Amino acid sequence: MAKQQLLEAVRGEAFPVDRDFPQLEIASDPRRMLEVFRAHLKPASGKRYHILDCVPFRFRCRQSTSRCVLQYTLRVLEPSSGRQWDQWVAGLVYARTGEAERLWREMPAGDPCRGIPEHWLTFQPVDFIPDLHMVVEVFPYDRKLRNLSAVMGGALLPLDRLLVERMGPGRWHAEERTIEPTRYRTELGAALRYTVRARDALASRSETLRCYLKVYRNERGGETFELLRSLAARSEHDRNGFSVVRPISYLRELRTLLLEEAQGASVQQLLLGGRDPAEVMRPVARAAAAFNQDVLGIARRHSLADQLEEVKRAASLVQWACPRARAEVEAIAAAVIDGLREAPPAPIHRDLKTDHIFLTGERVIFIDLDSVVLGDPVRDPAHLFAHLTAGVGLDSIPRERARTAAALFVQEYFAHVPKPWRRRFPLHGAGALIEVAGGIFKRQEPHWPEKVSAAIEEAQLCLQGKA
């Protein structure tokens, strides 16, 4: 299909119809869901709230045949004070008749309000919308992430001592603390910004220290803590051209990892701010090449079969979301699946994108290392290339500028790794672009049909060796 035909085909698609989940017709429409939430969400503390807006921000559809998880951001106004804020809400819909209502009736038995701080308790944490057969969870309540409410409810007060001790000599004590959610995936995990303002009684001065908290559903946070601690302990001489965000502690009973704030600015911030792409991407490429050739002492593997399964799932999702581009996506996925072969394993970040890489000068710092495994190292440059080329998180800069940054990165990266790696890149790049296309749809990004179309087109170019 020609470029313009492909664009018109994908652009013409609305949210896909699904006979297993007929309620998605309404659940995917922000205007209709705004009215649904206005009618059904009940204030929890006797106050009056008004929902001004509803924006979908992450949909997990067709990742299983049994249910969909739909996340929304609500803009909420408290008329009595004029205060406004963003409130996360998740909707769970099930294919099997009666399953959602059964789940809802079981959930309140544990007193969902317990442990949620008063200022975070806006609407009743759990609700049920009969017409949509939808269970609703209001952040920070999460039935599979019960430690989240505890963390936000003050269970981390002992953390103040750890942070204050890092301020150096003096008689420091915490005066004020704030917790701000920065990222949340229903039932999977959350990231929070924790800020402490402390005062030194000896010198009558105040300082502010910030760290980040990652709340996990399982013990993955403990594994990440051990990896980060071993990498952070290296001397500057042994770091091989890259650094990682430094860990502070891991609270096993809360499944919460405490991290220092990364120094510098993210690649995303630098590119959006107009920094010369060459100044940004060349040191990043050298650091990524060093990471992929390092010895990190990790045991978890991500095999070729694992990777191809992810490509298949992403291709299936994109075909479902954009059925008129089915043939093109199927051809790309088939080429990737038929062409890739098992490669000698090396450390891979596996989630390398522009907001997971920071620069301070030419020093490169990687964050979000939860997915680090042994796998085909070419997967990392392909992943970052795909995010850059598709303009993920870079909407305000021209597409050609993002593509230039991607090209500079690829050129520099392959100048610092074994030459045979380059031959595998077109297949990895095409597969990564299909995965990115699926991610664009799941995040319900504005103008997602056009962005998905562009990602499919880039994948076709990648297969032709034009990356």
The string of pLDDT tens digits covering residues 199-249 is: 877 777 778 888 999 999 999 999 999 999 999 887 555 556 899 999 999
The predicted structure's pLDDT at residue 274: 95
Residue 124 lies in a domain: yes
99-110 mean pLDDT: 82
Q: CA 279 to CA 145: how far, in whole Å?
A: 41
Residues 6+ positions from 100 with CB-CB distance below 8 Å: 92, 93, 94, 128, 133, 134, 135
- One domain, residues 315 and 344: yes
Please give the residue range of the domain that contains residue 250. Answer: 152-260
Name the E strands within 273-362.
346-348, 357-360
Q: Which amino acid does the sequence have at 295?
A: V
Side by side, the strands of the sheet bearing 189-200 are: 172-185, 189-200, 205-216, 256-260, 247-251
Question: What tokens were used for 275?
Answer: 């920094």
Q: Please tell me the distance from the alpha carbon of residue 92 to that of residue 33, in angstroms, as a whole number.
A: 14
Q: How far apart are the first and last CA of the chain?
A: 19
pLDDT tens figures, 141-177: 999 998 998 888 777 766 777 777 776 677 777 777 8
Residues 136, 157 share a domain: no
Task: Provide the CATH number for the domain around residue 293.
Answer: 3.90.1200.10
- Check residue 159 and give its pLDDT: 73
Give the per-residue pLDDT at 109: 56
Residues facing 366 on adjacent strands = 244, 357
pLDDT tens by residue, 355-369: 999 999 889 999 999
Per the domain annotation, does 182 fall within a domain?
yes
Question: 300 with 448, same domain?
Answer: yes
Residue 207 lies in a domain: yes
Q: Does one domain contain both 307 and 256?
A: no
Same domain, yes or no: 308 and 405: yes
What pLDDT score does 6 carry? Answer: 46
Tens digit of pLDDT for each residue in 283-333?
A: 999 999 999 999 988 989 999 999 999 999 999 999 999 999 999 999 999
For a pLDDT cut of 70, what percent of the chain falls above it? 93
The pLDDT mean for the chain works out to 90
- Domain shared by 111 and 160, yes or no: no
- Residue 82 falls within a domain, yes or no? yes
Number of domains in the chain: 3
- Does residue 455 sit in the same domain as residue 386? yes
Q: What is the mean pLDDT of residues 32-51?
A: 92
Mark which of 227, 260, 293 sits at the end of a domain: 260
Task: Please compute the mean of the pLDDT values over residues 437-444 and round it to a whole number.
Answer: 95
Residue at 42 is within a domain: yes
Pair 301, 409 in one domain: yes
pLDDT higher than threshold 50 for residue 66: yes
Residue 454 lies in a domain: yes
Which pLDDT does position 13 carry in this prediction?
56
Please report, as a single letter, which amino acid is at residue 353.
Answer: K
- Lowest-pLDDT choice from 110-119, 251-260, 264-273, 448-457: 110-119
pLDDT at 3 over 50: no
- Residue 31 pLDDT more than 70? yes
- Residue 383 near residue 375, CB atoms below 8 Å: no
Rounded CA separation 210/196 (Å): 6
- 146 lies in some domain: no
273 and 288 in a single domain? The answer is: yes
Question: Which amino acid is present at 242?
Answer: F
Q: Is the dihedral of CA 94, 99, 101, 105 positive or negative?
A: negative
Strand pairing of 346-348 and 256-260?
Answer: unpaired
Give the model's pLDDT for residue 118: 81
CB 273 within 8 A of CB 280: no
Whether residue 306 is found in the same domain as residue 409? yes
pLDDT of residue 11: 45
Q: Among 260, 278, 302, where does a domain finish?
A: 260
- Residues 28 and 94 grouped into a single domain: yes
Q: Based on the fold, state whether residues 181 and 315 are members of the same structural domain.
A: no
pLDDT at res. 73:
97
Q: What is the pTM of this model?
A: 0.91
* Boundary of a domain, candidates 117, 141, 165: 141
- Which CA distances in Å does 45 have to 124, 125, 126, 415? 8, 11, 14, 60
Q: Is residue 147 part of a domain?
A: no
